[in-house]
A and B are shown apart, each in its own frame.
Chain A
Amino acid sequence: MNVHQILSGAGPYDAVTTQALAFRDLFRAWGWGGRDVAAEIDPRIGDRIAPLRALGAGDGDVLLVHYSAYAPKLRGVLDMPQRKLLISHNITPARWFWDHDPQAAVVCALGRKQLPEFAAAADVAAGVSLYNAREFGSETVIPILFDPAGLGRPRPRDSQPPGPPTILFVGRLAPHKRQDAVIRAFELYRRRHAPDARLVLVGAPINRAYDAAMRALADELSPGRVTIESGLTREQLADRWRSAHAFLCLSEHEGFCIPLLEAFAFGVPVIARAIGGVPEVTGDAALLLEDEDGESVVAELLALAVGDRELRAELRERGAARVTAYSPEQTARTLRGALESLDRRSDVIGDL
């Protein structure tokens, strides 16, 4: 069987590209062929992803379209006769970007508008979470392929990280991730419970102006207590996880949120806002906040998550179960089932 993956864009640090390359490793292991192409390619990706024009799909091949952004160049793919599986990787609503990155807002607005058309043209349209799939009326879920083995070793069980309480958030420095709210809640927690606490925000900023705004806020509220960093190596990121006492996610929009699973894999207690795909991914393994819970409640939850041993141990156990639920073997089976069902349909059409 040949499966060709089609991406709107490919880059070295892009989650969707990473996912496509991991899928390709699986396809090779299953003895499947095909190639991976993208409409826009960052030169740093090398020859692992070919230009869209290099897509040479045969009649019985299957196309796997990773939809993650507005992609007018992919429209031609919709008219191709091959069977298609579309995986939507979730697009942030434009309203979060108009004030900070209007170009990104335009791309998001158009991407979300174009999604139903792409989903309708696919034989199977899936989301990375049920929340995501239901955005275009689907119930099919193919989760993110998450392999904890590649993350690095977690801390030994029942051991607290050394040093002062460290609160961590991992995610792009972007408006919908609400690092501003994380900084404010952290500062309240610090004043009330742990004057020596630290906040570490890991993630590339959407642009320099937004980066500067977040740094200014951190300097104003918690001078010297907040670190904002990006471009970490895998080992450096593993260090941040091992040093963290709690993971705090106050995002207003998440389709899946891989860092939640990373936190579980490292045994770090999670506090998160219950929005989008977050409750689905965390199950009962996180302390979930409702809309009405302000920064004062978040600060008190941080104190509990950092200081209550029984709570930490229970969250750690439940988190480990979530990592098992999203095991790479399970996701690989789901992906293979979806692609093989398309392949069988191709056979039927070929026989007709």
Chain B
Amino acid sequence: MKPEEALGAARAAAAARDDALAPGMSIEPTERVSTERLMEWANIEPDADLMRSTRRLGAPITWAKRQLVHVMRQYLRELQSQQTRFNLNVLIRLAELEDRVVRLEERAAVRRDVDER
């Protein structure tokens, strides 16, 4: 078979089949992150396992860094909570503004209808 004929042949063979896989996980692009997802992210929870060294023999450095995180955990929790407080407050304000815009748009639409009548 020539390469130019292969796609047509494959389409014909596929059309004759009725054994599709059940729908499952599929990666889709996201143009905009939802407010709910932003809420999840706003509550920051850094994974200590992500703390590592990228050097060739970095295991001892990784160990030392993780010890440092452990020693400083009280201060780091304080930083986390401050950052999360800020993130969540900004998001709540954003959600309120979105709601308000929706309400104003609905009210404007109703007013337009009344004016047109």
Contact = CB atoms under 8 A, between A and B. Distances in A.
Interface of A: 42-44, 93, 95-96, 98-100, 102, 175-176, 178, 180-181, 184, 187-188, 191-192, 213, 217, 220-221, 252, 284-290, 293-301, 303-305, 308, 310-311, 314-315, 318
Contacts of A175: 27, 29
Given A221-B24, A296-B17, A314 B30 contact: no
Contact of A99 (B10, B21, B33): B33
Can you list the 3 inter-chain pairs with the closest CB atoms, starting with the nearest?
A300-B10, A95-B29, A296-B14
B42 to A, nearest CB: 11
Contacts of A287: 3, 6-7, 10
8 contacts: A98-B32, A102-B33, A176-B29, A178-B27, A188-B20, A287-B10, A304-B10, A318-B3
B82 interface: no
Interface in B54-71: 54-56
A187 B13 contact: no
A32 B100 CA distance: 63
A187 B32 CA distance: 31
A300 B14 contact: yes
A311 B1 contact: yes
Contacts, number: 101
Given A295-B21, A304-B1, A288 B33 contact: no
Contacts of B6: 287, 301, 304-305, 308, 311
Contacts of B117: none
Given A44-B55, A287-B7, A311-B6, A180 B25 contact: yes
A293 B56 CA distance: 44
Contact of A95 (B3, B20, B31): B31
A98 B33 contact: yes
Chief secondary structure at chain B's binding surface: loop
Contacts of A304: 1, 6, 9-10
Given A175-B27, A221-B24, A99 B37 contact: yes
Contact of A300 (B13, B32, B33): B13
Given A213-B25, A220-B24, A300-B9, A284 B3 contact: yes
Nearest to B55: A43
Contacts of A43: 54-55
B54 A308 contact: no
A292 to B, nearest CB: 9
A191 to B, nearest CB: 7
A129 B34 CA distance: 34
A192 B17 contact: yes
B74 interface: no
B65 to A, nearest CB: 14
Contacts of A314: 2-3
Given A95-B29, A296-B17, A297-B14, A288 B7 contact: yes
Contacts of A100: 27
B41 interface: yes
A266 B29 CA distance: 32
B20 to A, nearest CB: 6
Contacts of A188: 19-21
A252 B29 CA distance: 10
Contact of A187 (B11, B21, B41, B54): B21
Contact of A299 (B7, B14, B33): B14
A301 B3 contact: no
A191 B29 contact: no
Contact of A42 (B7, B25, B31, B54): B54
A184 B41 CA distance: 30
Nearest to B49: A208
A345 B7 CA distance: 49
Nearest to B16: A300
